[in-house]
Amino acid sequence: MKNKQIVSIFDQINLNDKNKEQILTSLLSYKNKKSFNWNFKKISVCLASLLIIFCVSYGYLVNKPIKNPSSPAIMRFSKTLEYDNKSYELTVDNYDIKEVEKNKGKLLIVTSDKKEVYENKKNKKELIVRENNEYSLYTLIK
Amino acid sequence: MISTLSRTDKEIIDIYNEYSNMIYKICYLYMKNKHDAEDMVQMTFLKLIKSNKPFVNKEHEKAFLILTASNTCKNHFATWFNKNTTMISDENKFISNNDNQNELLSLVLTLPNKYKIVIYLYYYEGYKTHEIANILNINESTIRSHLAKGRSLLKDKLKEEI
């Protein structure tokens, strides 16, 4: 097979003028429209990043990290409890669940042995402590 | 704002007018039908528009387009659907007065892609084997063996036809 023959084979393959024009027109229209799309894309990426930053920071602020269990806020935890430089004493063991539902305020601290200390909404001098789904009541010692 | 579109319309038109036929030939070798080949030409030039790559000279520009066209066509066949679907080849639609020419084109199109592109670049575009190796990022010895294999396959096919 001669080289000329091969060359003439490829010569047959040609893009016709009409289609060539059409492709060029669509390319140019895409190119000129592209800047808008690009801006839109950039803006949406910025907005999405801002939303993610907002969500992360909001989530962090709302769910403040629980105080470090080793912090001196809570010293002992048996019959007496020291929290926020005040001493509380166990007054009611197996605190009534219905009462708990009414009185349980916000979570104050979780101890290293996973006891949860809640404020008592009705009485600021009392703390509700949850351990293994059982509640007990601690009262501030005068 | 238009940092990704550094080439002007005029530059794009000039490049398109200069290389569209060459790109079409390459795409046609891979796709074997006019419509897909035209789509691939469009995709190739879209990649050029999106690319911010500065070209050192005309040869660099041409090599970029050849490689982009080749990769675009290969990527087309990378999907499961396209890999398992056979398009109706319309090679005979190129009207040539010479029937032999049409037959030869059909034979060339039946060659595996790796041989077709090398034969095209060597015989039609007049590239040397080391230049083809640079463009396609393939070893020069591989290019030479592809050329030899492509030629012998074509010879065999021609004998069969006769």
Q: Minimal Cα distance from B15: which residue of A?
A: A24
- State how far the alpha carbon of B4 is from the alpha carbons of A27, A38, B57, in Å: 15, 9, 20
Helices B58-76 and B9-31 meet at what angle, rounded to 10?
50
B88-141 residue pLDDT tens: 655 555 545 566 666 777 788 888 988 988 988 998 888 999 999 988 888 999
Q: Which of A3, A12, A35 sits opposite B123 (nearest CB)?
A: A3
CA-only gyration radius of chain B, Å: 17
Quick check: B104 and A5 CB within 8 A?
yes
Q: Minimal Cα distance from B156: which residue of A?
A: A1
pLDDT at A102 > cutoff 50: yes
The residue of B42, B72, B103 whose CB has the most chain A CBs within 10 angstroms, and thus the best one to mutate to test that interface, is B42
- Contact predicate A81/A108, CB 8 Å: no
Q: Tokens at residue B127, please?
A: 């590239």
Q: Number of H helices and number of E strands within chain A?
A: 3, 7
Quick check: A13 and B94 CB within 8 A?
yes
pLDDT band at B2 (very low <50, low <70, confident <90, very high): very low
Name residue A90's beta-bridge partners.
Answer: A138
Q: Tokens 């056979």 map to which residue?
A: B86
Distance, in Å, from the CA atom of B10 to the CA atom of B30, rounded to the nearest integer, reads 29
DSSP letter string, A74-90: EEEESSEEEETTEEEEE
B35-82 residue pLDDT tens: 889 999 999 999 998 887 788 888 899 999 999 999 999 998 888 777
Q: Which residues of A touch B45 (CB under 8 A)?
A: 23, 27
Query: Has this prediction a pTM greater than 0.80?
Result: no
Residues 6+ apart with CB under 8 A from A75: A82
Q: Does A7 touch chain B (CB under 8 A)?
A: yes
Stronger pLDDT, B84 or B5, i.e. the higher one: B84
Q: Which of A8, A10, A27 sits opposite B25 (nearest CB)?
A: A10
Distance of residue A46 Cα from the nearest chain B Cα, in angstroms:
15
Helix (H, G, I), strand (E, B) or coil at A8: helix
Q: Which of B16, B21, B151 sits opposite A27 (nearest CB)?
A: B16
Q: Does A35 touch chain B (CB under 8 A)?
A: yes
Q: What is the ipTM of this complex?
A: 0.77
Distance, in Å, from the CA atom of A131 to the CA atom of A135, rounded to the nearest integer, reads 6
Q: Which residues of B touch A18 (CB under 8 A)?
A: none
The closest of B79, B157, B145, B76 to B111, measured between CA atoms, is B157
First to last CA, chain B: 61
Distance of residue B15 Cα from the nearest chain A Cα, in angstroms:
11
Quick check: A12 and B16 CB within 8 A?
no
The residue of B105, B127, B155, B159 whose CB has the most chain A CBs within 10 angstroms, and thus the best one to mutate to test that interface, is B105
Quick check: A12 and B101 CB within 8 A?
yes
Residues 6+ apart with CB under 8 A from A103: A120, A121, A122, A123, A126, A128
pLDDT band at A15 (very low <50, low <70, confident <90, very high): confident
Q: Tokens 């999405």 map to which residue?
A: A48
Q: Tokens 């000279």 map to which residue?
A: B57
